């Protein structure tokens, strides 16, 4: 029996099982909590999409990518007393968790019996080394964690994101696959951007069947992504890749999707009033426009038009933006300086393995000295210091290795001058650089931010591997 036939049979077995589960869930919907009602509804929607398009893999990936802005998840065993200080408070189960299980089952059956050549297998394992080492340090930190359960909460979520990263690297090999993922990410931005504009008109948080669309004090909008800062990082990461579609060799419909995504996402980013998001976006788009202009991809008129449009949009919210950037923030920025001092004290005391992933918030009180008493307590708003404090020096080095390799992969893709993938590679490298700067000012503990960032890093590697594979095949044909 061929692996293709086995995979096809398994797809319909999985579909049948999901149909039965969804059917029972639909009957029991009235007895379920609101979050589970959303999950059951999505299961039914998923079945409809599969029946309509007949492709389980793409349908599952669609759910995973829409799970970023809309957060179809629950947190089992949630602990409010640690979550209020910035820790991950429970076992996070989401549509992504369920979809990954099905995707890996399909992947296993499709590849069983097929042997890739040794060089391709070695390249795959070589590609995922940086993130694998980082995850290894996170798991190792369980040994020193004061609260093992908290450490397991975070590792459980990180392992899911790691599996998603590995799946993308292992299965996304064609240009159509890359465009499919990019298209869904852009559609997510369009939908979320529309929600942001509606929330700005409504002016308050709304909840529908357990799905919350958030509006904070000062009309700072977080939408369904979460808090305004989380939403700010989400939009800042995806706006430049969306803009890159005007340079990429794609159909006009795809270019328009990128343009609409960029426009709505920019408005939504402004409505988050996230200073870190503004900084990340400004830096990434500046680098992208300058390099594109220098390379001759963009006429000077384009950046001028973008600057004018940005100024006009900003003028629509000028007073609120001025108050947010230059006004009184109730000491929010200054309160983060003592947290940095606190994190440095924890690092000095625990330089090797740290205090355990997700354990910063429960041990920070032990390191408060006289000059820090009475300070606002929360997880340090600096991702690098948080990683260093929780998983040690080796973990920080692995984290920086992962970030650096992601920039390297996307930058090398840009250097190929490929008409489709080079602009995307440049955009991803700029977005990652912007996000790295943003990580100096926030915790980035939440699943949506980690998921979208690691997907961007996975795409940068998948694009690089795809281009390298194409060059190898072309070289082989020429030699033959």
Q: pLDDT tens-digit profile of 131-150?
A: 999 999 999 999 999 999 99
Query: What's the confidence (pLDDT) of residue 74?
Result: 87
Confidence of residue 59 (pLDDT cuts 50, 70, 90): confident
Cα–Cα distance measured from residue 414 to residue 424, given in angstroms and rounded to the nearest whole number: 7
pLDDT tops 50 at residue 179: yes
Q: Which residues pair with 74 in a beta bridge?
A: 93
3 within 8 A of 113, measured Cβ to Cβ? yes
138 within 8 A of 356, measured Cβ to Cβ? no
In DSSP notation, 324-364 reads: HHHS--TTTTTTHHHHHHHHHHHHHHSTTTTT-TT-HHHHG
β-pairing, 220-223 vs 211-216, is antiparallel
Q: Which residues pair with 215 in a beta bridge?
A: 221
CA nearest 248: which of 298, 284, 214?
298
Q: How many CA atoms lie within 13 A of 231 on its CB side?
A: 32
CA nearest 242: which of 464, 423, 410?
423
pLDDT tops 90 at residue 395: yes
267 within 8 A of 192, measured Cβ to Cβ? no
CB count, 10 Å around CB of 125?
9
**For 38-73, b where at least 16 C-beta lie within 10 A, e where not — what string?**
bbbbbbbebbebbeeeeebbbbbbbbbbbbbbbbbb
Can you tell me the mean pLDDT for 202-221?
Answer: 88
Strands (DSSP E) along 362-407, which ranges? none
For the chain, the C-alpha Rg in angstroms (whole number) is 23
pLDDT tops 70 at residue 469: yes
User: How large a percentage of the chain has pLDDT more than 90?
Assistant: 64
Q: What is the pLDDT of residues 79-90, one digit of tens each?
A: 999 999 999 999
pLDDT tops 50 at residue 430: yes
Query: What's the confidence (pLDDT) of residue 52?
Result: 55
Confidence of residue 416 (pLDDT cuts 50, 70, 90): very high
Can you tell me the mean pLDDT for 281-308?
Answer: 86
Cα–Cα distance measured from residue 457 to residue 338, given in angstroms and rounded to the nearest whole number: 32
CA 164 to chain centre: 11
Can you tell me the mean pLDDT for 235-260?
Answer: 96
pLDDT tops 60 at residue 18: no
CB count, 10 Å around CB of 161?
20
Cα–Cα distance measured from residue 51 to residue 11, given in angstroms and rounded to the nearest whole number: 12
CA nearest 461: which of 413, 396, 399?
413
pLDDT tops 50 at residue 1: no
Mutual angle of helices 421-438 and 175-202, in 10-degree steps: 50
**Helix/strand number for the chain, H first, E second:** 19, 5
Confidence of residue 230 (pLDDT cuts 50, 70, 90): very high
Task: Identify which has the larger pLDDT, 314 or 109.
Answer: 109
In DSSP notation, 173-193 reads: -SHHHHHHHHHHHHHHHHHHH
Confidence of residue 445 (pLDDT cuts 50, 70, 90): very high
Can you tell me the mean pLDDT for 160-184?
Answer: 96
SS3 category, 92: strand
* Annotated domain spans of the chain: 1-115
């Amino acid at each position: 029996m061929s692996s293709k036939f086995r995979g096809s049979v398994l797809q319909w077995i999985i579909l049948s099982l999901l149909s039965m589960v969804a059917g029972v869930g639909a009957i029991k919907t009235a007895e379920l909590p609101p979050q589970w009602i959303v999950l059951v509804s999505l299961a039914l929607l998923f079945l409809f999409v599969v029946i309509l398009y007949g492709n389980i893999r793409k349908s599952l990936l669609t759910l995973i990518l829409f799970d970023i802005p809309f957060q179809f998840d629950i947190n089992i065993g949630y602990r409010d007393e640690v979550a209020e200080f910035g820790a991950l408070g429970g076992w996070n189960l989401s549509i992504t968790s369920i979809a990954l299980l099905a995707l890996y089952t399909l992947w296993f059956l499709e590849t069983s019996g097929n042997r890739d050549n040794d060089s391709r297998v070695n390249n795959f394992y070589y590609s995922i080394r940086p993130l694998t080492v980082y995850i290894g340090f996170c798991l190792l930190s369980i040994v020193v964690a004061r609260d093992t359960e908290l450490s397991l909460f975070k590792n459980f979520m990180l392992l899911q994101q790691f599996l998603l990263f590995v799946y993308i690297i292992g299965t996304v090999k064609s240009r159509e696959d890359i465009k499919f993922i990019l298209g869904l990410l852009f559609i997510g931005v369009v939908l979320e951007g529309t929600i942001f504009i509606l929330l700005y008109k409504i002016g308050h948080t709304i909840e529908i069947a357990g799905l919350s669309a958030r509006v904070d004090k000062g009309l700072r909008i977080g939408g369904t992504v979460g808090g305004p800062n989380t939403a700010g990082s989400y939009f800042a990461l995806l706006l430049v890749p969306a803009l890159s579609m005007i340079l990429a060799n794609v159909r006009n419909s795809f270019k328009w999707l990128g343009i609409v995504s960029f426009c709505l996402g920019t408005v939504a980013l402004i409505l988050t009033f996230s200073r870190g998001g503004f900084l990340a976006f400004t830096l990434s788009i500046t680098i992208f426009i300058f390099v594109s202009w220098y390379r001759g991809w963009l006429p000077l008129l384009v950046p001028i038009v973008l600057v004018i449009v940005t100024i006009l949009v900003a003028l629509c919210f000028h007073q609120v933006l001025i108050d947010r950037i230059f006004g009184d923030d109730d000491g929010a920025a200054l309160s983060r300086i003592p947290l940095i001092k606190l994190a440095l004290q924890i690092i000095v005391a625990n330089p090797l393995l740290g205090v355990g992933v997700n354990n910063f918030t429960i041990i920070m009180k032990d390191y408060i000295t006289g000059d820090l008493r009475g300070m606002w307590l929360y997880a340090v708003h600096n991702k690098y210091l948080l990683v260093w404090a929780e998983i040690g020096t080796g973990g920080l080095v692995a984290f920086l290795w992962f970030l650096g390799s992601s920039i390297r992969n996307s930058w090398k893709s840009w250097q190929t001058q490929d008409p489709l993938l080079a602009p995307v590679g440049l955009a991803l490298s700029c977005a990652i650089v912007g996000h790295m700067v943003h990580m100096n000012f926030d915790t980035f503990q939440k699943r949506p931010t980690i998921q979208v960032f690691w997907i961007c890093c996975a795409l940068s590697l998948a694009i690089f591997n795809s281009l390298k594979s194409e060059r190898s095949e072309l070289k082989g044909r020429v030699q033959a």
